Amino acid sequence: MAENPGNIEIEKPFSHHLARIIFAAFLFTFITARVIVFLIMFETLPDLYLYVGQTHIHHLNYGIFLLAGLGGYLVFRRPVGRSLEIAAILYGIGMALTFDEFGMWIHLGGGYWQRASWDAMTVLGGCFFLLAFAPSPKKFRPSHWLATIIAALAIVVFAILLVKSFNYARKSIQPRLEKIETIAPK
Residue 157 CA, distance from chain mean position:
23
Q: 17-75: per-residue pLDDT in tens?
A: 899 999 999 999 999 988 888 888 888 889 888 888 888 788 888 999 999 999 999 99
Q: 143-180: per-residue pLDDT in tens?
A: 777 877 887 787 777 777 767 766 766 677 667 667 76
State the pLDDT at residue 1.
44
State the pLDDT at residue 131.
80
**Average pLDDT of 106-127?**
69
State the pLDDT at residue 21.
94
How many other C-beta atoms can be found within 10 angstroms of the C-beta atom of residue 102?
A: 19
Domain ranges of the chain: 14-134, 135-186
Q: 75-88: per-residue pLDDT in tens?
A: 999 898 999 999 99
